[in-house]
Amino acid sequence: MTKKIKLKISARLVKKRSRRGNGNRSKMCRFCSDKEQVYGIDYKNATFLKGFLTERGKILPSRISGACARHQRVISQEIRKSRVMALLPYSGPAF
């Protein structure tokens, strides 16, 4: 007869540990790793900058865009310039 081993770790803790394993991977800024891509961050390149906006036209935070503080600043500055020229919206379509 096999003896039942009492689990000392709670399910919540197991979940937490697994999450830590996946999410602990350090995010690399893609603009830091590839200098060529930095030239793409331009207020004229609205199709590229559209990828850094939400559906409602808000600028994505750096924790989602994965950009470092320096490049996030460049992205948001260029998006704001692009908005002035009506290439990008200030706000998305109303529901």
What is the C-alpha separation between 28 and 30, in angstroms, rounded?
A: 6
Does 60 bind another protein (CB under 8 A)? Our answer is no
Q: Find the part of the chain contacting another protein (CB under 8 A) among 6-14, 15-23, 64-72, 79-87.
A: 79-87
Contact 54, 89 (CB under 8 A): no
Does 44 bind another protein (CB under 8 A)? Our answer is yes
Q: Which of 13, 16, 70, 90 binds another protein (CB under 8 A)?
A: 90
Cα–Cα distances (Å) from 38 to 1, 17, 95, in that order, read 65, 36, 34
Binding site residues, another protein, CB under 8 A? 39-40, 42-48, 81, 83-90
